[in-house]
Amino acid sequence: MSRTFLITGASKGIGLALAQRLKRDGHQVVGLARNASPDFPGVLLPVDLADTQATDDALKDLTGRFRFDGVVNNVGLVRPQRLGAVELPALEEVMRVNLHPALQTVQALLPGMTERRWGRIVNISSLTVLGSIERTAYAAAKAALVSFSRSWALELATTGITVNAVSPGPTETELFRANNPPGSDGERRYLAGVPMGRFGQPDEIAAAIAFLLSEEAGFITGQTLHVDGGASIGKAAF
C-alpha cells in the first residue's frame, strides 16, 4: 500500500536518502528543509525549522494538501562546545531546533493519523546520547527525542500509531566528510569507536527507518534502534 510520509531535514544526508528509498518503494514523500534540493523525489517545502511560526504555517499548508501516514523527525543542529565553554544561547538553540519541530510535526499530523487508526512516527536520535565530548547540548536534545518516543508510544499504544527512534552511528554524509576528510584525525577517532571498522552509509540508516515506517513493523513501538556498526555495544576485540 502506498503511504504519504513527511520528513524534516529532508534536503540532504539521511533525510534525502530516506526520501529516495521511500519513493522507490512506491510511497509519496513530502519534505521540510531550509534549502531546496534538485534531487528530492517529492514535494519539498523550504522552511526554517528554527522559526516556530514559519514551521506552524508550513505544517498547516501541508496538512491541508496531504493525508499523512507518518513523520520522520530528522532535522538536527550541532553546536560543539567543551563543558567550560557551553553558552546558554547555544544550548537553547540546539534544544529548540532538535525538539520543537518534532513536537510541532507530530501535533499537526496526529489528528489525521488518529482518525485513520494508522500512523508511524520515527525520531532520529544519535549515538552521542551514550556519551561524547563537546556534545553537551546535542546529546541532551537527542536523548530527549528518545524520551519523547517512549512517552508518545505509551500514549498512542491503542491508536494504531507506533513511535520509535533510530540512533545512527558515524554516517558518511557530505557534511560528515567535510568535517572528517579521509586520513584525518577525526576519521581515525570515529573509526576507532566502530567495531565494524567502517562508517555507515545514509541508505543503510534509511533502510532501518523505512522498516519502522512499514506495515510489518506494526508491533514495534517505544524502541530505539541503534544503527551504528556495533558502536553502542563496545569496542571490537582485536
Is 168 a member of any domain? yes
pTM over 0.85: yes
Return the pLDDT at 17: 97
Q: Is residue 192 part of a domain?
A: no
Q: Which of 40, 68, 118, 138 is catalytic?
A: 138
Q: Is residue 237 part of a domain?
A: no
The pLDDT, as a whole number, for residue 238 is 63
How many domains does the structure of the chain reveal? 1
Burial status of residue 163 (CB atoms within 10 A of its CB: 0-12, 13-18, 19 or more): buried
In a domain, 193, yes or no: no
The set of long-range contacts for 54-60, using a CB threshold of 8 Å and a minimum separation of 24, is: 55/100, 55/101, 55/104, 56/104, 56/108, 58/32, 59/104, 59/105, 59/108, 59/109, 60/108
Q: Which of 11, 10, 7, 12 is nearest to 173 (CA)?
A: 12
Phi, psi for residue 141 in degrees, rounded to 5? -65, -45
Q: Is residue 107 domain-resident? A: yes
Kindly report the CATH number assigned to the domain that includes residue 93: 3.40.50.720
54 within a domain of the structure (yes/no) = yes
Residue 187 inside a domain? The answer is no
Domain limits at 76? 4-173+202-225
138 is catalytic: yes
Instruction: Give the three cell numbers for residue 61.
Output: 499548508
| Residue 197 domain flag | no
Please list the rounded mean pLDDT of every run of 10 residues in the chain (238 residues). Answer: 96 96 98 92 96 97 98 90 91 95 98 98 96 90 97 98 97 87 91 94 98 98 98 82
